[in-house]
Amino acid sequence: MISPEIDIKAEKMWNEMFHVDKLNLLTENRFWEGFGVYRYSYIPEDLKNILRHRIEENEANLPKL
């Protein structure tokens, strides 16, 4: 199940990402580069999962206080 908190963070990440970074992410994962101009709600679910996974990895690597 997708955590709503992770989904919100993924949307924020996508919205704040520079266009060149979006293009790199899309190319790296073999998505159509045209998705770089799409709003988060319109990008494919597979791409959203990649963003969510990156956030989960980043949070797992943060030191616990």
pLDDT of residue 13: 96
| Cβ atoms of residues 10 and 52 within 8 Å | yes
Q: What is the pTM of this model?
A: 0.87
Domain ranges, ordered by start, for the chain: 4-60
Whether 65 shows a pLDDT value over 70: the answer reads no
Amino acid at 7: D
Count of all residues that appear for the chain in the document: 65
The predicted-structure confidence for 2-61, as pLDDT tens digits, reads as follows 789 999 999 999 999 999 999 999 999 999 999 999 999 999 999 999 999 999 998 888
Q: Residue 62 is encoded by which pair of tokens? A: 């943060």
pLDDT of residue 31: 97
